[in-house]
Amino acid sequence: MEKAKIGERLWIGWIESFVGQFRLLVNSVCWSSEARWRRYDLAMSSVESFFITKTQRHNTQT
C-alpha cells in the first residue's frame, strides 16, 4: 500500500473518531439541558399546585 493512502486512511479515521466523540458530547449536553428544563417544570408545577391547594383551603375556611 502506498504511503499516501495509509496517511489518508489515518486522517479519515481520526476525523471519523473526532466527529463521533463530538456527537456524543452534543447529545449529552442536549439531554442535560432537557433534563434541567424538566426539573424546572416539575418544580414550578409543584409550587403552583401547593399554592392552589393552600388558596382552596383558605377559601373553604372563610
- Residue 37 DSSP symbol: H
Does residue 39 surpass a pLDDT of 60?
yes
Average pLDDT over all residues of the chain = 74
Phi/psi at 61 (5° precision): -80, -20
Mean pLDDT across the stretch 26-54?
69
Q: In whole angstroms, what is the distance from residue 8 CA to residue 29 CA?
A: 31
pLDDT tens for each residue of 48-57? 676 666 666 6
pTM of the model: 0.44
Does residue 35 surpass a pLDDT of 80?
no
